[in-house]
Chains A and B, each alone.
Chain A
Amino acid sequence: MRKEFLPSLLLTVLCILFFSGFYPLLMWGVAQLAPNKGEGFVVSQNDKVYYKNIAQNFTGDKYFWPRPSAVAYNAAGSGGSNKGPSNPDYLASVEARIDTFLVHNQGVKRSEISSDMVTASGSGLDPDISVASAMLQVQRVAHARQISAEDVKQIVNKVKQGPLLSIFGPGKVNVLELNIKLDQIKQ
């Protein structure tokens, strides 16, 4: 072991410099060519800057709501509820979310609610909801903003994204983009 110690130590030092020094520096260089220089994708509106991929908490009726978050949408942390499928506390909290949703969305039938609106996401920061869940909220948003449901539906259709290259994975709607578009028509 003693014979291997010095070579191992020297090789370790060089590897640290190479894999933890050179490699991240190279990638930092690449990032300078990327949108927003690798500091995360942002969208701006009225001089305010938001992270496109980080869900924000929306509670008002005039905004589309994101999925429930186990970390209260605090992006200084992240995580899911980690509740098991048979946990009685968990099932009670889902029941409560369904009730809240129904109270705020008059006219929506219980059977129409898609489970993504009442279950917490894995990261607690999921920026997207399903297209079906967005459509369910159209009436509420239109009513709260005193505009026609048809206009709101058009915005959802404009913002929604299909699968990757139209063939891989699910479709989705980014809630933040949707709400920014909504505020823009008001002006």
Chain B
Amino acid sequence: MNTELLGVIVMFLGTLLLALPLGKYIAKVYAGEHVWTDLIFGPVEKMFFKVSHIDVRREMTWQQHLVAMLTINLIWFLWAMFCLVNQNWLPLNPDHIAAQTPDQAFNTAISFLVNCNLQHYSGESGASYFTQVYGLMFLQFVSAGTGMAAAAVVFNALRERTTDKLGNFYNYFLKSCTRILLPICIVIATVHIFEGTPMTFKGMDTMVTMQGDTVHVSRGPVAPFVAIKHLGTNGGGFFGANSAHPLENPSYLTNMVQMIAQVLIPFAMVFAMGFYLRRKKLAWVIWSVMTIGFLALVIPTINAEVHGNPEISKMGISQPLGNMEGKEVRFGARASAYWSIATTVISTGSVNSMHDSFMPLSGMNMLLGMMVNSFYGGVGVGFLNFYVYLILAVFIGGLMVGRTPEFLGKKVEAKEMKIAMIVALLHPFLILAGTAIASHLAAHDTPMGWWMMGADGKPLHATAWLNNPRYHGFSEMLYEYTSASANNGSGFEGLGDNNPFWNISTGIILILSRFVPIIGPVAIAGLLAGKKYIPESAGTLKPDTATFGLLILAVKIIIAALAFFPALALGPIAEWLSL
């Protein structure tokens, strides 16, 4: 069998095999049961809570959870802004990197806070080691912890009882970081260090090449950063080229580890829900729906990349490795194509090859992954997004059988539906409105003034942000807003996005598309938890069946297709037809 394909299959099955025991472990952690890590981290957490005056026995309502979450997120934002605009004089800056401009710092701080990592800078020249470790890597831990804590609140609310007490936010948050993220990160970082990823605080090195050129080589504390970047589905690279960089991802082994790491917790959270609620069958139904969606995107993408670029075939050379523009030889086209879809269906957004140079239909599949945003989805939030679709499917299913819609013994009524609809419609609204404004400006080649200036300080025209003409240029803008709204962070990186226009517009989208899809599902779950529990009867719509799974899939496809097909037709589909 083809070794490249075998590598991909093992990455997928390996993730599943690891996610099952991890899911069980996560369920135990959130249920407060005894686990082996109590011995190591138990005392540390106790000390943290004592110093912070936090009583973890105080159970919170869903509103109190949200207040605590938003408060601590605000503090993190201010800390990140402080790091970014002061990095020039703060310690650990051996490469003498300048401070980020306020609009760029705003975009960077927001995008790491919301687990997106859009990165309108390059790590080599735009962030000091202090910023990378104390600002950005810190946010990579805690933003993942926030998403997981929100999912834990929803798990708690789905239990078969009537209550408004849904556990303690700080407890869920800290344990997500200490019990789940940190131990696995230590393992991942260790593998990377021994495979050649740097872990040093010495700055850039200078070497004279064999031909006699003098070259500077950026290094840094990369290994620990790469570990949490993937495990927490953050995706922000230490270097500009992200995981395509031969120091950030030096071998096929590290590529497999990074790939498994980023999909691991999104898988495990689904199984964790199954163990936590003792509804394993429901977990498998949800996982299967997600997997069908994932495979429907990944298989055609691998196929398109393996067949290479028809425009290059016309030149008469051979493409035995497939479409290699923007890809690395040590990974090959198959592992790169698999990564491109995995990183977009979950909200990682790290890349091991340049998405801008993929075939048009591959680009469309990446866009679809982010547009649906819950075929697995990011740590914690992927489950929350799926939960919104689930509520919509329950409602539609209820109408079809002619009964009041119920989910796990709770009546779904008008208030919950309104929240679910707002969350479901916000995502296409932000993407399409943003893309419409940007394409209007580009189509008229509007002078941008302060909103976009060249290196010489002169204002530029809107088309200057495009790196490719025609349909592909449109795709670049569509991709940027889709990535922002999905909190993904990957990009068609040709887009010239480090200017106030893109920094500010995507920054605003990032805030909305992070917090509304967390607040919404937590509110729905909280409202449902307070309702009377109705035991299952013969007329109950059973959620843990294949039929209901298909219904969820249909709801997703209808929403995504109706909302996004016109935009996709103008970008990737038009480009594909023109090849």
Contact = CB atoms under 8 A, between A and B. Distances in A.
Interface of A: 1, 4-12, 14-16, 18-20, 23-24, 26-28, 30-31, 34-35, 37-41, 45, 48-60, 63, 67, 73-88, 90-91, 94-95, 98, 110-116, 118-130, 132, 163-164, 166-172, 176, 179-180, 183
Contacts of B7: 163-164, 167-169
B218 A75 contact: yes
Interface residues of B, number: 120
A86 B353 CA distance: 18
Contact of B494 (A60, A82, A122, A164): A82
Contacts of A121: 244, 324, 326-329
A138 B493 CA distance: 36
Contact of B329 (A40, A170, A176): A170
B211 A57 contact: yes
Contacts, number: 370
Interface string B35-61: 000000000100011011110000000
A54 B190 CA distance: 21
28 contacts: A4-B68, A14-B52, A28-B200, A28-B201, A31-B223, A39-B200, A45-B210, A54-B217, A67-B329, A76-B215, A77-B124, A79-B241, A81-B357, A82-B326, A82-B492, A82-B494, A85-B309, A110-B315, A115-B324, A119-B324, A120-B325, A121-B327, A123-B244, A125-B245, A126-B330, A163-B7, A167-B6, A183-B210
A169 B335 contact: yes
B125 A76 contact: yes
Given A11-B174, A122-B327, A169 B245 contact: no
A115 B308 contact: yes
Interface of B: 3-4, 6-7, 10, 44, 48-49, 51-54, 67-68, 70-72, 75-76, 79, 122, 124-125, 133-134, 137-138, 141-142, 170, 174, 177-178, 182, 185-186, 189-190, 193-194, 196, 198-202, 204-205, 207-211, 213, 215-219, 221, 223-224, 239-241, 244-247, 250-253, 255-256, 308-309, 311-312, 315-321, 323-332, 335-336, 351-354, 356-360, 467-472, 475, 492-494, 575, 578-579
Contact of A73 (B70, B137, B215): B215
Nearest to B317: A113
A86 B133 contact: no
Contacts of B326: 80-82, 119-122
Given A40-B247, A59-B211, A122-B328, A16 B79 contact: yes
Contact of A172 (B178, B329, B493): B329
B225 to A, nearest CB: 8
A58 B212 CA distance: 10
Contact of B141 (A15, A26, A90): A15
